[in-house]
Amino acid sequence: MNTALMIIFFLFGTIIGSFLNVVILRYRSGRTLQGRSMCFSCGKTLTWFELVPIGSFVTQKGKCAGCGTHISWQYPIIEAVTGFLFVALYIRFAYLLTQIPLLFAVLFGYYGFIFCLLLVMSVYDLKHKILPDGMTMLFASVALIGMFLFKGDALILHIPSGWDCVAGLLLPAPFSLLWLVSKGKWMGLGDAKLMIGIGFMLGLSAGTAAILLSFWIGAGVSILGILGLALFAKQKAVSLKTAIPFGPFLAFGTLLVFLFSVNIESITQFFAR
Ligand SMILES: [Zn+2]
């Protein structure tokens, strides 16, 4: 690992992150990805300087240079998150960079695409409380192709073994049932659709671990959130009906499992100690 490279990957990530912001903003809005970005309030076309990730937000103190309207924190946050994501992926595959640079590039590109897609889905879910089919199905398709191409960190065309082959269908099954029984109240069908990709990408053991982790993290955050609301917002009736989108937790659980090679065996061993 190399500090200079980490900084380069971070900066590269912030540039991709600012593109992801555009994708999130324009998805299903009828606007294409072409055309210059502009301020929503005054319509001022942004100059190259105002498009610099994070930096422009800081120097302009979060305001449009034309009209002074506040710019959403979403922009610098997504840029920074993508930056850290790229650093994490670089660290994950750094051992390959000098030995087999082409394999590094393929793995970084493939998983970079997948986690950027998961990030876009997460933010979309947070903003609109929905995981669009177009995104979950794109993830499932890319993960399905990867299942035949990647064996661990190796690039080999192969038939995946036994349970891993059907993990993409097994993992979402119980949650689709929950959706059906609760008529969509306990769980969105979008979450189950997201699990198709998780299953294909991680296999049965690691995929189960990712879903478990996301439930635990989701539960922890929800409890903290409810406590926080009860303490500070002085709301009398804070219920779990204050729907918390589950997509971001699934994405985060998937990232953790992928980066730290967690699977169901390592989780059971952790609790057996
Ligand atoms: Zn403006």
Per residue in 121-145, pLDDT (tens digit) is: 999 999 998 999 999 999 999 999 9
Instruction: Report pLDDT for 234.
Output: 61
Say if residues 76 and 83 touch (Cβ distance below 8 Å).
no
Q: Any alpha helices (H) in the chain, and if so which ranges?
A: 3-26, 55-59, 74-97, 101-128, 133-149, 162-170, 172-181, 189-228, 247-260, 264-272
CA of 39 to the centre of ligand 1 (A): 5
CA of 249 to the centre of ligand 1 (A): 34
Residue with tokens 């076309």: 45
pLDDT beneath 70: ranges in the chain: 234-243
Per residue in 220-261, pLDDT (tens digit) is: 998 888 888 778 776 555 555 556 789 999 999 999 999 999
Instruction: Report pLDDT for 237.
Output: 54
Helix (H) or strand (E) holding 151: strand 150-151
Angle between helices 189-228 and 133-149 in degrees, nearest 10:
110
Instruction: Report pLDDT for 28.
Output: 84
Contacts of 248 (CB under 8 A, 6+ apart): 122, 123, 125, 126
Q: Maximum CA pair distance of the chain?
A: 60
CA of 45 to the centre of ligand 1 (A): 9
CA of 42 to the centre of ligand 1 (A): 4
CA of 132 to the centre of ligand 1 (A): 30
Does the pTM surpass 0.85? The reply is: yes
Angle at 250 between CA 170 and CA 187, to 5 degrees: 70
CA of 77 to the centre of ligand 1 (A): 20
CA of 255 to the centre of ligand 1 (A): 36
Boundaries of every domain in the chain: 1-99, 102-273
Instruction: Report pLDDT for 133.
Output: 95
